[in-house]
């Protein structure tokens, strides 16, 4: 499952100097291509609503093999996402950020999600999503 948080529906138009000009459709296409090389598929979703993301994480526990998540601003504020992801201990979880959150405003340096993620990828543009899908596939292969 590929989850994208608030404002990522505006990718390509919102702050292109920070996030680039690639769109969310470009992200989803990249992830689908990478997953297909591993015989996997991607269920891509985006929401500006924290509760909807929590519901999808709960759904992933029953229907998906792993989660790639860009929680966006919820990274820095959402204990609810942290708690939901903590229930997914059987699934690999990779957190991804388009920009390097550690080179940005101080409040962005902490992510609640990072504490439960198997890996964190930041600052690689949308290429980071491809890395995240690769990592989930590798972790799944290692787990059998």
Using one digit for the tens of pLDDT, what is the confidence trace for 51-81? 999 999 999 999 999 999 999 999 999 999 9
Domain ranges for the chain: 2-143
> Is residue 140 exposed (0-12), middle (13-18) or buried (19+ Cβ within 10 Å)?
middle
Instruction: Tell me the pLDDT tens digit for each residue of 12-44.
Output: 998 887 777 899 999 999 999 999 999 999 999
Given the DSSP bridges, would you call strands 2-4 and 67-70 parallel, antiparallel or unpaired?
parallel
Task: Please tell me the pTM assigned to this model.
Answer: 0.93
**Check: CATH 3.50.50.60 for 2-143?**
no
Active site residues: 19, 97
């Amino acid at each position: 499952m590929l989850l994208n948080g608030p404002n990522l529906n505006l990718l390509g138009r919102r702050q292109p100097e920070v996030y680039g000009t690639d769109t969310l459709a470009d992200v989803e296409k990249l992830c689908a291509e990478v997953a297909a090389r591993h015989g996997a598929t991607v269920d891509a979703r985006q929401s500006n609503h924290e509760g909807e993301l929590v519901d999808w994480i709960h759904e992933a526990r029953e229907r998906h093999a792993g989660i790639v998540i860009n929680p966006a601003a919820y990274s820095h504020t959402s204990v609810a996402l942290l708690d939901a992801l903590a229930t997914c201990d059987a699934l690999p979880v990779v957190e991804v950020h388009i920009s390097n959150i550690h080179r940005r405003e101080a409040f962005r340096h902490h992510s609640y999600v990072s504490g439960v993620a198997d890996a964190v990828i930041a600052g690689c543009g949308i290429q980071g999503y491809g890395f995240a899908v690769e990592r989930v596939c590798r972790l799944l292969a290692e787990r059998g």
